[in-house]
Amino acid sequence: MVGGGRGAFIGAVHRIAARLDGEFVLVAGALSSDPARARASAVDLGLAPDRSYASYADMARAEAAREDGIEAVAIVTPNHVHYPAAAAFLRAGIHVICDKPLTSTLPDARKLKALAEKSGRVFVLTHNYTGYPMVRQARDMVARGQLGRIRLVQAEYPQDWLTGPVEASGQKQAEWRTDPARTGPGGATGDIGTHAYNLARFVTGLDLKELAADLDSFVPGRRVDDNAHVLLRFAGGAKGMIWASQVAPGHENGLKLRVYGEKGGLEWFQPDPNALWYTPLGEPKRLITRGGAGAGPAAARVTRIPSGHPEGYLEGFANIYQEAARAIRAARAGRKPPKDVVFPTIDDGVEGVAFVTACVASSKRNGAWTKLPL
Amino acid sequence: MVGGGRGAFIGAVHRIAARLDGEFVLVAGALSSDPARARASAVDLGLAPDRSYASYADMARAEAAREDGIEAVAIVTPNHVHYPAAAAFLRAGIHVICDKPLTSTLPDARKLKALAEKSGRVFVLTHNYTGYPMVRQARDMVARGQLGRIRLVQAEYPQDWLTGPVEASGQKQAEWRTDPARTGPGGATGDIGTHAYNLARFVTGLDLKELAADLDSFVPGRRVDDNAHVLLRFAGGAKGMIWASQVAPGHENGLKLRVYGEKGGLEWFQPDPNALWYTPLGEPKRLITRGGAGAGPAAARVTRIPSGHPEGYLEGFANIYQEAARAIRAARAGRKPPKDVVFPTIDDGVEGVAFVTACVASSKRNGAWTKLPL
Amino acid sequence: MVGGGRGAFIGAVHRIAARLDGEFVLVAGALSSDPARARASAVDLGLAPDRSYASYADMARAEAAREDGIEAVAIVTPNHVHYPAAAAFLRAGIHVICDKPLTSTLPDARKLKALAEKSGRVFVLTHNYTGYPMVRQARDMVARGQLGRIRLVQAEYPQDWLTGPVEASGQKQAEWRTDPARTGPGGATGDIGTHAYNLARFVTGLDLKELAADLDSFVPGRRVDDNAHVLLRFAGGAKGMIWASQVAPGHENGLKLRVYGEKGGLEWFQPDPNALWYTPLGEPKRLITRGGAGAGPAAARVTRIPSGHPEGYLEGFANIYQEAARAIRAARAGRKPPKDVVFPTIDDGVEGVAFVTACVASSKRNGAWTKLPL
Amino acid sequence: MVGGGRGAFIGAVHRIAARLDGEFVLVAGALSSDPARARASAVDLGLAPDRSYASYADMARAEAAREDGIEAVAIVTPNHVHYPAAAAFLRAGIHVICDKPLTSTLPDARKLKALAEKSGRVFVLTHNYTGYPMVRQARDMVARGQLGRIRLVQAEYPQDWLTGPVEASGQKQAEWRTDPARTGPGGATGDIGTHAYNLARFVTGLDLKELAADLDSFVPGRRVDDNAHVLLRFAGGAKGMIWASQVAPGHENGLKLRVYGEKGGLEWFQPDPNALWYTPLGEPKRLITRGGAGAGPAAARVTRIPSGHPEGYLEGFANIYQEAARAIRAARAGRKPPKDVVFPTIDDGVEGVAFVTACVASSKRNGAWTKLPL
């Protein structure tokens, strides 16, 4: 693991997700760019002292040289480190599981993609919401045509934790996520807008033609956007909206996706992730539950326990790690991953960074329609 | 009543709303442009034969001449008739209660406004959602500063009844609402987008600076928009979104308003209109109920029964009629209405038609930011 | 109207319900047992002075003698007056619409039933929740066998308004509802338990075999029960529970009914009355909405406006008045009411008073199983 | 692990829960009473062949003899094996984590309690719902007096999976859970009624004085109850109801607890476990969320991730394992567990079996009030 030392948030999530199904064991880490914090964090996590590294570069080199070196690395640093760290491990022949967004700049994203393709290593981007069983179910229903041709995609991800100037209080998460040097040019756009956009594409399979964005920094002094209003035009004529906000009091992690086609509609809401609402046009709305009646094989693949006992965020995240494990096992055997293995790839990562880039560009041009720079 | 004969929808609603609190009695009507239907409808409703008129013009003239002539008329026709009918009654010195949108064209709206002002008659526009007690409560909380300075306004009004080509089936409601000659240039925009926009303004009191709209007609052959995606920029810096759709399977009349300020957020949803969700920043979300703890005098004014017993759409609509009655009584006495009497006015009507006009113009200019033509 | 003067609650509800569909006009009243309050209330409501009576006895006599005397009376007094007032009007040949519970004692109920049958007049008991369209829908689905043989009936009606000793504060509603002389032997049992029991029977059509009740008065000094826990055994083997409480903080009028059979289950909740949840065994849960897909003719009969625009408590109550109007029109014509006219009868009233009587008796016998004294 | 081989349900849950926080590693098992299934299951789980045992007796003996023998065993068999298996491991000096109910008979429960006390080993009963953060929060609020003196406890646990005669189809879970020899005298009562009862006691801290139960087997041929209606009387005057059912179509695992006191009410619902609804009397209802505003230290102790990202059933279950780990570490050090460590004990287990025993006895005596045989 690179990053994820004391005071971090997502590192602990990755560790639980990796461990939940028993597929991964954490044995090495460069847990912080601060050496003392890195050491202390390694002790917390029970790493062998010689496998707690001062930098990702050291770690990549040393682990690649060990006979029992790591097979895969999880990169859970602030965004600007994703590129150099991932590059180091790919070059060292180590599979990479990387947090989103892929990188803090589009050039970095492109370089990383080239590198990943050349390396032949597995590259998994943890757009974790795609791991929820009912998101898989939704995707499957769209793919099977149960909604007919898709017309509308309404995605939103409101939060409220940055309603005040939290970054000024020394809160570590707020600090780096509002610092353009570390987070990239988009604030809410990059941090959560990319999730909403990725989810919309994951479920519908639609390609974006262009977008129009109006970004704001409502909190005085904030250096990145904390609210994004985005209009979407997809290839083929579907339209959509994304709203991503970190200044919407009353929302914790209110990611919601609604998809409407000629024959029906779907609604999914992350705080209640075991439910998928499906309305076949002209019939009563139906509640499809994880593990319950109406849930098909795409959801069952990533379901652990019976319906009515909620699986949550960590289980969804762990599903990404499960898929990563399957892909890595296949790679080890010189095969492609089985067809049913589904995870966000480096292409999704490039797409996400391009989305942020286009949002920022459109907003600077007064919301002009802008194509993704792909 | 003008309009509202057999086969109509909103006429019956107006009649119940007018009757619910015993303030109005229906005594005369020009219930249909079709004479036979007008007569038959008058019989259904128990009108005296001599007060069932063949046209609104006849009715305005005759009723104005009667000693016991009507005090007020309700105009519930398709949109294009609003202007000439309202003009006839205003000229005859009769108060007007008119369905929304005000008119089908902006010039008509402006002329009607001039006429109404000159007439000195009461003019009430039935943007009925402003009659819901918890909408009044929300408006009052914003006005009192409980949310702090407003930053975000998210409004939506999804429906699904026009997902298919219903107008081709001879359904009367669908027919005129998709005919630009009768409904005006905006379809969903005019029919329900104006409600969402009016509600947003009613609750927040914000003035719109400009909008950017992307309108679609998803159903082949449809002559007006059936989906509207609109970005909003308010004076003072607040931003917003409106989504109005008639092609979103799973939504019946899903009008929702969410408002976020520096100090808190509010959520209101028309299908559950007795609830108002309020989150003071940093505290647990609270459920304010009509008639219950937390509901103040602005809601109490328009509340009939105790909390927990739901009041619905008709009661909210009837509140507009109650307000109209108060205003008319005041007018009769030569006074202005009391300060706490609140109803949508002809100014709101002009604003609504300007909103539709701007949406259509913006969409034609590829979503360019457009000011309201006021 | 008898009762319903200033300070009353349910009288105003009856007046709106009677007026809502234009079937009834209020022309006479004995609005209060306090003469001054009766007069003042009559002025409020615009009654002719000679039709505001000092007592129900005067009113029954005088109205029966008038050529234009009332056709029907609404009795909305405290419970102990139901019997003598209803008796007076029945004897005078006037149809009766009476609030629930039927009477405050079982002997009164029986006498009233005999009188009503002898009189040949229409007697409607306002168990108003049976007027909700989705309650009609539920009843129809059970009757059609969509749930299969019924096994379980879970009904509850929690409130919180009597959590403290409100009656000691002079609140008029609390005063008489906790006074056994006026309300009868059951407190929560009579006031809301009868509603829950009536609703359970209305929807399922099951007959009760016996019950076991544990009643409490949690508030010190309260003279009637404020919480009732009741077990039910129906003829044919179905079982059930009723929970009625006035001391459950967080509930306003939380009437809920759930019915389960061999083939499916239904859930209905009064604060969200336009929704009926239906689960066919082994299939996803479905949301049937008033006016929407899945709602059949039994609901459509009592539906005024399209789906998604909520109808509430007053509309449900008005449906009882609509049914009363139909029954009275039939009676006037010397016919039985049409088969599809459905309203709670005096038999339901006797059943309700017997339910209260049995609950009190069972509770006194330490919850022994007790048959209804019918 | 004892039990939990192929085809089992709860074994996999225990394994994930044990692994989730990295506190336990699975190294040995007697995974099935069927030797072939035991071996195959051990291979599935990667156990060393010499630590896959043919019986719990062998396993207890052999592991106790190993230097690297297990510290704790998880017993996840059908109920009737809990007693002999737990006894074997306690006698071997090994800590026990045992699924509920404690045993299939009350004498077994008592003997096991004596044995556990004598052994000095940690005994943890996995009434897993007590591990949910918002259940901890509820318990803490009651203990702090935020609800005032408790008056009412309404618990229910409806399911629908046994609505039909599933046990006749060869479904393994249904088979043993409806076989009195393996499950004990109570069916739904033992399987889920004990959860509801345990949760009620855990949150309120109230002691039961007596109960009255009406149990049914609705499915023809079923040998244990599939529905339980229970009235509760607690010491000190609080009253309650438990409904446990396996024949209620539309419910998956609908465990719900509602607690009402003189000053407020609480509602918690297992399918939405991150929410706790709290109504202080006379104030608006509040939504307290796991990790969010209003959640205190008792919840924070067992919270892993930020609010708005749901934690589910497995995390709640894992919290029991976390508490077990803390207790075992303390035991290893010869200390009592820290005061804030909270888990269901063997006393809770005896109480649960006594609850089932009393329910069955009461029901046989026609619902007579019955004390727990403690």
Mean pLDDT confidence for A41-56: 96
Contact partners of A by the rule of 3+ C-beta pairs under 8 A? B, C, D
Q: What does the CA dihedral A320, A322, A327, A333 come to, rounded to 10 degrees?
A: 170
Question: pLDDT per position in chain C (374 positions), as tens?
Answer: 999 999 888 999 999 999 999 999 999 999 999 999 999 999 999 999 999 999 999 999 999 999 999 999 999 999 999 999 999 999 999 999 999 999 999 999 999 999 999 999 999 999 999 999 999 999 999 999 999 999 999 999 999 999 999 999 989 899 999 999 999 999 999 999 999 999 999 999 999 999 999 999 999 999 999 999 999 999 999 999 999 999 999 999 999 999 999 999 999 999 999 999 999 999 999 999 999 999 999 999 999 999 999 999 999 999 999 999 999 999 999 999 999 999 999 999 999 999 999 999 999 999 999 999 98
A34 pLDDT band (50/70/90 cuts)? Answer: very high
In chain A, % of residues over pLDDT 70:
100
Neighbours of C235 (CB within 10 A): 10
pLDDT of D215 reads 98
Q: Cβ–Cβ of B151/A247 closer than 8 Å?
A: yes
Residues of A whose CB is below 8 A from B251: 265
Residues of A whose CB is below 8 A from C294: 283-284
Residues B113, B118: Cα–Cα separation, whole Å: 9
A330 pLDDT band (50/70/90 cuts)? Answer: very high
Containing B52, the helix (H) or strand (E) segment is: none
The residue whose two tokens read 């600076």 is: B209
Mutation target vs C (from B19, B157, B252; most C CBs, 10 A cutoff) = B252
Q: Cβ–Cβ of D310/A12 closer than 8 Å?
A: no
pLDDT of A269 reads 98
Please tell me which residue of chain D has the smallest CA distance to A274: D271
Neighbours of D217 (CB within 10 A): 17
Question: What ipTM, to 2 d.p.?
Answer: 0.96
Handedness of CA D3, D9, D12, D16 (dihedral sign): negative
Chain segment B7-33, per-residue pLDDT in tens: 888 999 999 999 999 999 999 999 999
Residues D131, D20: Cα–Cα separation, whole Å: 14
Residue B210, min C-alpha distance to chain C (Å):
31
B262 in Cβ contact with B149 (< 8 Å)? yes
Q: What's the distance, CA A322 to chain centroid?
A: 15
pTM of the model as a whole: 0.97
pLDDT of A336 reads 93
Mean pLDDT confidence for D276-290: 98
DSSP character for D192?
I
pLDDT of A91 reads 98
Residues of C whose CB is below 8 A from B310: 270-273, 310, 312-313
Chain segment A159-182, per-residue pLDDT in tens: 999 999 999 998 989 999 999 999
- In this model, does residue A9 exceed pLDDT 90? no
Pairing of strands C150-158, C208-216: unpaired
Mutation target vs D (from A26, A309, A315, A319; most D CBs, 10 A cutoff) = A309
Closest Cβ–Cβ partner in C253, C254, C311 for B314: C311
User: What value does the mean pLDDT of chain A take?
Assistant: 97
Residues of C whose CB is below 8 A from B19: 19-20, 22
Mutation target vs B (from D287, D288, D289; most B CBs, 10 A cutoff) = D287
C241: tokens are: 């529970």
D144: tokens are: 């702090």
From the list A45, A259, A313, the residue with the least C-alpha distance to A146 is A259
Residues B223, B225: Cα–Cα separation, whole Å: 7
From the list C217, C209, C108, the residue with the least C-alpha distance to C153 is C209
DSSP states of A77-103:
S-HHHHHHHHHHHHHTT-EEEEPSSS-
Residue D374, min C-alpha distance to chain A (Å):
32
- In this model, does residue A45 exceed pLDDT 90? yes
Please tell me which residue of chain C has the smallest CA distance to D282: C249
Q: Which stretches of chain D sit within 8 Å of chain A by CB?
A: 9, 12-13, 15-16, 19-22, 159, 251-254, 270-274, 289, 291-292, 304-315
Chain segment B132-182, per-residue pLDDT in tens: 999 999 999 999 999 999 999 999 999 999 999 999 998 989 999 999 999
Q: How many CB pairs under 8 A join B and C?
A: 102
CB-based contacts of C171, cutoff 8 Å, min separation 6:
none
Q: Cβ–Cβ of C293/A278 closer than 8 Å?
A: no
Mean pLDDT confidence for B251-269: 98
Q: Cβ–Cβ of A265/B160 closer than 8 Å?
A: yes
Q: Which stretches of chain A sit within 8 Å of chain C by CB?
A: 278, 282-289, 292-294
- In this model, does residue B93 exceed pLDDT 90? yes
Q: Which stretches of chain C sit within 8 Å of chain A by CB?
A: 278, 282-289, 292-294
Residues B227, B158: Cα–Cα separation, whole Å: 9
C246: tokens are: 């006035």
Closest Cβ–Cβ partner in A212, A258, A261 for B367: A212
CA atoms within 13 A on the CB side of B281: 22
Please tell me which residue of chain D has the smallest CA distance to C165: D262
* Paired residues of C240 in beta bridges: C153, C232
Alpha-carbon Rg for chain C in angstroms: 20
Q: How many CB pairs under 8 A join A and C?
A: 30
In chain B, % of residues over pLDDT 70:
100
User: What value does the mean pLDDT of chain C take?
Assistant: 97
pLDDT of C4 reads 95
- Per DSSP, helices labelled H in chain A are 10-20, 35-45, 56-65, 79-91, 106-119, 133-143, 172-177, 180-183, 188, 194-204, 297-300, 313-332, 346-364
Please tell me which residue of chain B has the smallest CA distance to A282: B249
Chain segment A132-163, per-residue pLDDT in tens: 999 999 999 999 999 999 999 999 999 999 99
DSSP character for B192?
I
pLDDT of B9 reads 86
Please tell me which residue of chain C has the smallest CA distance to B252: C308
Residues of A whose CB is below 8 A from C288: 284
From the list C125, C356, C138, the residue with the least C-alpha distance to C257 is C138
Mean pLDDT confidence for A360-368: 98
D7 pLDDT band (50/70/90 cuts)? Answer: confident
Contact partners of C by the rule of 3+ C-beta pairs under 8 A? A, B, D
Q: Which stretches of chain D sit within 8 Å of chain B by CB?
A: 278, 282-289, 292-294
Angle at B306 between CA B303 and CA B311, to 5 degrees: 55
Mean pLDDT confidence for D311-340: 96
Angle, helices C10-20 vs C313-332, to 10°: value is 60
Q: Cβ–Cβ of D267/C277 closer than 8 Å?
A: no
Mean pLDDT confidence for B97-106: 97
Residues of B whose CB is below 8 A from A161: none
Chain segment C254-272, per-residue pLDDT in tens: 999 999 999 999 999 999 9
* Paired residues of D39 in beta bridges: none
D277 pLDDT band (50/70/90 cuts)? Answer: very high
Chain segment D133-143, per-residue pLDDT in tens: 999 999 999 99
Residue D140, min C-alpha distance to chain B (Å):
17
Q: Is B145 left (phi over 0), alpha (psi -120 to 50) or beta?
A: left
User: What value does the mean pLDDT of chain D take?
Assistant: 97
Chain segment A243-274, per-residue pLDDT in tens: 999 999 999 999 999 999 999 999 999 999 99
Chain segment B223-236, per-residue pLDDT in tens: 999 999 999 999 99
Mean pLDDT confidence for B294-317: 96
CB-based contacts of D267, cutoff 8 Å, min separation 6:
C250, D256, D257, D258, D276, D277
- In this model, does residue A8 exceed pLDDT 90? no
- In this model, does residue A129 exceed pLDDT 90? yes
Q: Cβ–Cβ of D308/A21 closer than 8 Å?
A: no
pLDDT of D257 reads 98
Mean pLDDT confidence for D106-129: 98
Chain segment C270-300, per-residue pLDDT in tens: 999 999 999 999 999 999 999 999 999 999 9
Residue B163, min C-alpha distance to chain A (Å):
7
Handedness of CA A37, A38, A39, A42 (dihedral sign): positive
Q: Is D180 left (phi over 0), alpha (psi -120 to 50) or beta?
A: alpha
Q: Cβ–Cβ of B273/C310 closer than 8 Å?
A: yes
Residues A164, A160: Cα–Cα separation, whole Å: 9
Q: Cβ–Cβ of B231/A229 closer than 8 Å?
A: yes
